[in-house]
Structure 1
């Protein structure tokens, strides 16, 4: 009996360590002062890593999740062209009940407006009236998305490329993500074009 109990406890610890190891690339990139979620809440999360053979795997996964979502709320310090194209497409196809909101770091909006490839697309998406963009004037320390019932969290490498995506549907993660998103959105200004 004692042996079984110890065995179960050791198995639980090993499972937790395995999950933390998979989350390490995300947790190492996110400042602890801005991430107050207990990492154990992410124990059942799915983690997608950028790899040499698939450097855009985190972006591809977000695009895939977004494609089937009725409600999209995101907080981001980056915009990838594939993702921007997909958001424009989704904005044009969204029904009146869809929720599409994106809180972007201010310098990202400035970079978008300075780049003709992104600017025209961004303006079309914003003017469609089905996506609300918000400008956040400080640094966004990690990527966050609320895509229907799924929460995605992402981190970037030193060059600003997304290198890891964590996705979870755990209630504790959802509750935390809702709170964090509301805080950033409340501190942001709606983009009016």
Structure 2
């Protein structure tokens, strides 16, 4: 059975991010678990697809506010759905808190907000989630360090950072433009011949 092109590329993107994270992980004591780095690499690749990051609400696309995701989690009587909302909350807090803090700082939202929201979400998941409880436990207890790790990985001194890569990937995914594929290759993302765009 052949994998879908976007899934194949997302796996390549995930591997790329995981390599970046692994190079920097030894800066932290103790180093994050391999499973946690795997989870974060997948998270970064998943949010590389704008349809995963953005939602449609009130007639426009945007990132759902963390406080509203928290309210959604509190309001649902279904435990599985609560875990899904809190996972989205924790993942978004880590992603935007690490890679786009300046956008929120201009609105008066500080790093402590992301740390508080992400820590609380992952702490709940470390007890109630079906899978990855050990990953969520580590993310909850080291959320501040994980923000730093993702931020450093995203700002490597290579001429490109994660936001550059994600933006080029999103444009390539929509257009299949060979020039964008070559840009991704220069950034360290290798496309295989059987990974066409959508």
Is TM (by shorter chain) over 0.5? Answer: no
The structure whose Rg is larger is 1
Q: TM-score, normalised by structure 2?
A: 0.31
Q: TM-score, normalised by structure 1?
A: 0.31
Q: Which has the higher helix share?
A: 2
